[in-house]
Chains A and B, each alone.
Chain A
C-alpha cells in the first residue's frame, strides 16, 4: 500500500489528526532540511490551517478525499497565491503570485496540505539542482551527491520523508531524473494531460507539470486529481479524464515492451545491468520484451537543447524588473535598467541558455540550428508512432548514470547534458513516461528505469510500474523524516 492510502486510513480511523501529522512533517523539516536543502520556503501557518479544515470535517463526520490532510510540497516554479514563488532565481525575489496554478488549485480543493516550496535549478535550467540561487538540494542517500534536477528539492524531500508527494515540472527529464537519483517514482504526464496554467514557463512546447512520490499508487492518486481539461491552458486536452487508479492492478500478461538498444548502450554498466534485471522481472510477469533499434532517440538530445533554449529566450524576455521581481537601482535609460536588472539577477546558466536561444533564432543561424531541430523533432514523433504500433510501452534507463558528485556538473556543463539523453525524447514527442527505482549502484545510489507509453496512456505505464513494485518492492529510507 502507498503512503497516501495508509495515511488516509489513519486519519479516517482517527489514529492521528491531520494537524498532528502536519506537525510531525514540519518538525522533521526543521531538523533535516538544513542538510538536504530540499525546501526553500516552509509554509507552516498555511499548512496547519489546511490541516485544521480536514480535522474539522472529520470531527463533523464528513467524508474526506484521499488527499485531504496529506502533507506535500510544490516546486518553486508552481504559482501559489500570496506565497513567494521565485523559481529559485534572484530576479523573482519577493514575487507573490496573485493566482494559483491549476494543478495546485485542484489539490488544494481536495484538502492537500502544502508544507512549502521545493528547491530547483534556476528556472528549471539544470540537471543537478545546483543552479538554484539558494544552493542545490542534496541527495538523501548520500549528501555528497546531488539530488538531481531540476526538481531536486521535490525528489530529495519525498525520498527523505519530508513530504508524501510533490509536484514538479518536467521539460526534459526534470521530474524523472531526480526521482531516479533519489529512489522515488516520478511521472511526466502526456503534454496536454495536466494544465500548465500557473507553471512558470521555461520551454512552453515541452513543459509539463509532473509528480514525485514514493510509489506508483501515490503518483496515480495525484495524477487523477490534477489532470483534465482546463480552459486556462489552450494545450490541455478537452476529452481526457484520467482513471489510472482503477487500472493499477490490471494483469500485464501479454504486454509488448520494447527496449531501445541505443539508450542501453550509452548507459553505465551497473545502470544497464539493473534495467536488464528489471526487464527479466517483466518477462516473468508474462510481458513480451524485445530489444530494438531507434537511432532517432539519440539525435533528439541536441535538438532538445536547441528548441528548449530558443523557447526560453522568448519566455524569459518578460523579466524586466518593471512589473515584478528585482529591479536594478542605478541606470540612465529604461533599456539600461532592463539590461542591468537581467544581467545582475539571472544566474550564469540562465544567461547562457538565453544567449544560446537568441543565437539559434538569429538571422543566419535559424536554418542551421532551430529549423533543423524542429525537423528532428518531427522525425522523432513519426518514429514513435511506428514504434507504438508495435509495442505497448518502452523501457529504458532513466539516466545513463547515477547521481553526480556535488559540483561535478560545473566542471563539464555540456557533458552533463548527456544526463538527459534518455528523458528528452518523451518531452519532444509529448509522451507520458514514469521513472521507478530498479536497484542500487555499488556506491548504494538508486538507479531508475523509465517506462514510456503512447500519448494519454498513463494508466498503462502506471499499471506496469505498480506491477513491478508488487513484484520487487518499493525503495524507501526508513531513517529519515516521517515514516508511519
Chain B
C-alpha cells in the first residue's frame, strides 16, 4: 500500500473550524438548563460552565455538515429482541430497599413536605 496522497481537509478540528464570536449561551441559559437537568449550580461556577458548554456546542456545530433532511432516530441495531410476556422472579423488597438512606416498612422514606 502506498501512502502520501493528502485527502481533502474536513474541518472539524477545533483549530480548523472555530470562529470565536459572541457567546452562544448566557448565564440565563445555563440556569435554565441546570433547572431542567435538576442540578444545583453554584453562582461562582456559572462563568466556567458558560465557557465549557459553549466550547462543546461549538464542537457540536460539526453536525451541521452535509445534512439535507432529518429522518428521525437510529440506533446500532437492525433487530429488536423482545422477551416473552412471562412473570419472572423479582427482587425481594428488603434487597431493593437495602441501598436507601431512609426507609420505613416496605417503602422509601422522604421527609413530609408542607
Contacts and interface: CB of A to CB of B under 8 A. Distances in A.
B102 to A, nearest CB: 8
A321 interface: yes
A234 B83 contact: yes
A377 B1 contact: no
B62 A301 contact: yes
B110 to A, nearest CB: 6
A291 B12 contact: no
Given A234-B83, A414-B14, A352 B108 contact: no
Contacts of A343: 39-42
Contacts of B96: 98, 323
B48 to A, nearest CB: 8
A360 B64 CA distance: 13
A59 B39 CA distance: 56
Interface string B1-24: 111011110101110000000000
B28 interface: no
B108 A94 contact: no
Interface in A272-303: 272, 276, 279-280, 283, 289-291, 293, 295, 298-299, 301-303
Contacts of B45: 348
Nearest to A316: B37
A477 interface: no
A265 interface: yes
A334 B52 CA distance: 29
Contacts of B108: 322-323
Contacts of A373: 60, 63
Nearest to A344: B40
Contact of A283 (B1, B53, B74, B75): B1
Which of the listed residues B3, B53, B76 has the most CB atoms from chain A within 10 Å of its own CB? B76
A266 interface: yes
Contact of B53 (A264, A356, A379): A356
Nearest to A191: B76
Nearest to A412: B14
Contacts of B41: 343, 351
Nearest to A290: B1
Contacts of A94: 99
Contacts of B29: 359
B76 A206 contact: yes
Nearest to A306: B60
Interface stretch (A46-54, A61-69, A102-110, A235-243): A235-243
B80 interface: yes
Contacts of A478: none
Contacts of A371: 70, 72
Given A339-B40, A342-B38, A378-B71, A261 B33 contact: no
A209 to B, nearest CB: 14
Interface string B70-94: 1111111101111100000001000
B10 A96 contact: no
Given A358-B36, A372-B63, A372-B67, A324 B5 contact: no
B53 A358 contact: no
Contacts of B6: 265
B39 A342 contact: yes
B98 interface: yes
A301 B34 contact: no
Given A99-B91, A323-B99, A355 B53 contact: yes
Given A237-B81, A291-B1, A262 B39 contact: no
Contacts of B10: 262, 295, 298-299
A269 B98 CA distance: 54
Contacts of A238: 81
A346 B39 contact: yes
Contacts of B60: 302, 305-306, 356, 360, 369, 373
Contact of B39 (A283, A291, A322, A351): A351
Interface in A418-458: 418, 427-430
Given A301-B62, A339-B39, 14 more contacts: A191-B77, A235-B77, A259-B3, A261-B7, A283-B1, A298-B12, A299-B62, A355-B33, A356-B60, A362-B36, A371-B72, A414-B14, A418-B14, A429-B76
10 contacts: A299-B63, A302-B60, A306-B63, A320-B38, A323-B100, A348-B45, A375-B71, A377-B74, A379-B66, A417-B59
Interface of B: 1-3, 5-8, 10, 12-14, 25, 29-30, 33-34, 36-42, 45, 48-49, 52-53, 55-67, 69-77, 79-83, 91, 95-96, 98-101, 108, 110-111, 113
**Which 7 residue pairs are nearest across A and B when measured between Cβ atoms?**
A430-B76, A343-B40, A302-B62, A324-B99, A191-B76, A289-B1, A414-B55
Interface of A: 94-96, 98-99, 191-192, 205-206, 229, 231, 234-238, 259, 261-262, 264-266, 272, 276, 279-280, 283, 289-291, 293, 295, 298-299, 301-303, 305-306, 309, 313, 317, 320-325, 327, 333-340, 342-344, 346, 348, 351-352, 354-356, 358-360, 362, 367-369, 371-379, 381, 413-415, 417-418, 427-430
